[in-house]
Structure 1
Amino acid sequence: MSSDQVQGAAQRLLEAYRTGTPIDPLTPEFTQAELSTAYRIAQAQVEQWEKDGDTVKGHKVGLASAAIQRQMGVEQPDFGHLTASMFHLEHQPIPAATYIQPRIEPETAFVLGRPLTGPGVTIADAVRAVEFVLPALEIVDSRIRDWKIGIFDTIADNASSGGVVLGSRPVLLRDVDLRLTGCTLHINGELVATGAGGAVLGSPLNSLVWLANTVGRLGVTLEPGHVVLPGSMTKAFPISPGDSVVANMSGLGTVSAVLGERAEQ
């Protein structure tokens, strides 16, 4: 695919961010394209954000659990970038206008203390690189109308990244078995889902290894201090302005998020 096509798709997605108006799926236009083209589209957006003053602060793995893959109709993980502007504080209303059609996912978050450079990263390498773990809520969003996405669309759309809320109680990796970490997800006080860390590629650590080796082939290193979201323990749930979300994760504690009311036009 030509650079003009890649840049054109990236500009349409960037315009969706700016206006809050979703676009039609990209897949029909790129039916013969490799997934590497979708990553080029995503990278073009990241480069524009950096030019505008944003900073990459980590990565997320999407589509890492069977529940999410079934929900989205895909069969493999993908990854996206997390920038500074995507991080929100607990207990502070998150501006609803930031998002088009948001959904919420409970995840563990790795904070790295050492670099991870693939390919060739092993579980042992990943364990040594993790400084601590936090409970997290990821807000996923799609710039594609009505979430009518295939794998090409979600990759091009930065793995449907939206926002991140981190809990504030760090836990050392040796003090928790992430495979067995159970999770309950409440929206507006109602229990909507339960899950466990083992739903994420068997262990969230497997997801971290997959990410390091995948981005390593592209010349990218996972940097110390960066946050890695390995994937959701449950399927994603739509949220609306005013909604309050709480995830409780055994051994990690709780994390909460509040989506602010949408301002009157």
Structure 2
Amino acid sequence: MMDTAKTNALAAQLLADMGARTKYKPLRLDGATIDADTAYEVQRQVVQHAQQAGAGQVAGYKIGLTSGAMQRFCGVDEPILGRLLTGRQVQSGTTVRRADFVRLGLESELALRIAKPFPAMRDGNVFALLECIDQAAAAFEIVDDRDADYSSLDAYSIAAENSWNAGMILGPPISARELGSFGNLQGRLLINGAEVAQGNSSDVLGSPLNVMAWLGRFAQRAGFSLEPGQWVLTGSMIATKFPAVGDRVRFELGSLPPVEISVV
């Protein structure tokens, strides 16, 4: 059973560390790693604090650690969820300030927009979700890992920190019907015009639809609704890149319009 007083104290300490821009360290409660219930209660408080500071309303969800590349990169083996906020959305083609982050990271993703509530999610019915998605876009997730040491991560500590989400950059969206089931879209990441990595949309849990199904099951268990108009970042198909000041970063994914950002 979750100890409310200790969990609140843990959330307060994490918020203080984030505000002071200290180096990330895994969370511990009574000397042990935290569990999922504790992590997502701390996340609730972190998101609430951000909203009180003017970060806006929940605009959707990021599902992290969905690809083998990202799980190997972070040394973990399970997805995590974070909440996207309206005040942290940036348009493709604009700039972000490196100095606004402890360590700025960009993750290359397929974003899908929810059109209507999901059906009850059971194994094997992921294709029913095609009717629940109306738009798709290439996207960057902005993350701030607070200069984490990747040899000592745990998934629930990251989840508690709203899964490190610091924003979302959407490329121009298109109708989801044009992409079919969203699988096997080839991705290319370019920095200053040079290709630095490739990925594939099927690298995220085998299919972005599997990611959406995971989200549907998570929402059912946690007791919250997925609302029409919300965007879902389905996970980075390329390991996080940490751009430098002056970099121009572009992600191309299948037939989708690319998403671009400059770092100043």
> Who is 2:248 aligned against?
244
**Are 1:227 and 2:228 an aligned pair?**
no
Cα separation, 2, equivalents of 1:83 and 1:196: 26
**Counterpart position of 1:154:** 158
Shift of 1:30: 5.3
Residue aligned with 2:174, SS: coil
Aligned counterparts of 1:19 and 1:10: Cα–Cα separation in 2: 14
Tell me if the contact between 1:16 and 1:143 (Cα under 8 Å) persists in the aligned partners: no
User: One-letter code of the match for 2:246?
Assistant: G
Q: Which residue of 1 aligns with 2:49?
A: 48
**Equivalent position amino acid for 1:109 in 2:** A
Contact residue 118 and residue 221 of structure 1 kept, 8 A: no
Contact 2:248/2:263 (CA < 8 Å) preserved in 1? yes
Does the CA contact (< 8 Å) of 2:63 and 2:235 recur in 1? yes
Partner of 2:130: 127
3-state DSSP of counterpart to 1:221: coil
Q: Does 1:104 align with 2:106?
A: yes
Measure the CA separation in 1 of the matches of 2:119 and 2:92: 31
2:145 aligned with 1:167: no
Q: Residue in 2 aligned with 1:136?
A: 139
State the partner residue of 2:118.
116
Amino acid at match of 1:211: L
Query: Unmatched 5+ residue regions in structure 1?
Result: 261-265
Note the C-alpha offset of 1:66: 0.5
- Distance between the aligned counterparts of 2:219 and 2:10, measured in 1? 22
1:144 Cα deviation (Å)? Answer: 6.5
Alignment TM-score, normalising by the size of structure 1:
0.89
Partner of 1:64: 66
Give the residue type in structure 2 aligned to 1:56. Answer: V
Q: Distance in 1 between matches of 2:136 and 2:147?
A: 32
| Cα gap change, 1:69 to 1:181, in 2 (>3 Å) | same
Identify the match of residue 209 of structure 2 among 197, 205, 211.
205
SS in 1 for 2:222: coil
8 Å contact kept, 1:62–1:78: yes
Amino acid corresponding to residue 51 of structure 1 in structure 2: Q
Residue 81 of structure 1 aligns with which residue?
83
| 1:263 match | none
Which secondary structure state, in structure 1, belongs to the residue aligned with residue 96 of structure 2?
coil
Counterparts in 2 of 1:5 and 1:110: CA distance versus 1, 3 Å: same
Q: Which residue of 180, 183, 186 maps to 1:182?
A: 186
For 2:259, the equivalent position in structure 1 comes to: 255
Determine the C-alpha separation between the residues in 1 that align with 2:26 and 2:262.
Answer: 29
Q: Is the 8 A contact 2:24 2:145 kept in 1?
A: no
- Comparing 3-12 with 37-46, which one deviates more in the overlay? 3-12
C-alpha offsets along residues 47-80 of structure 1, whole Å, 9 cap, x if unaligned? 2233344211000100000110011000111111
- How far does residue 18 in structure 1 lie from its aligned partner after superposition? 3.1
CA distance in 2, matches of 1:243, 1:7: 40
Cα contact 2:93–2:259 (8 A) shared by 1: no
Aligned partner of residue 253 in structure 1, secondary structure: coil
Distance 1:16 1:258 in 2: 28
Contact 1:143 1:157 in 2 (8 A): no
Find the counterpart in structure 2 of residue 92 from structure 1. Answer: 94
Q: Is the 8 A contact 1:144 1:153 kept in 2?
A: no
SS in structure 2 at match of 1:237: coil
Residues in 2 aligned to 1:123 and 1:87: alpha-carbon distance in whole angstroms = 28
Q: How many residues align?
A: 260
The Cα of 1:234 is off from its aligned counterpart by 1.2
Residue in 2 that maps onto 1:10: 11
1:171–1:230 Cα change, 3 Å: same
Distance verdict in 2 for CA 1:198–1:32, change over 3 Å? closer
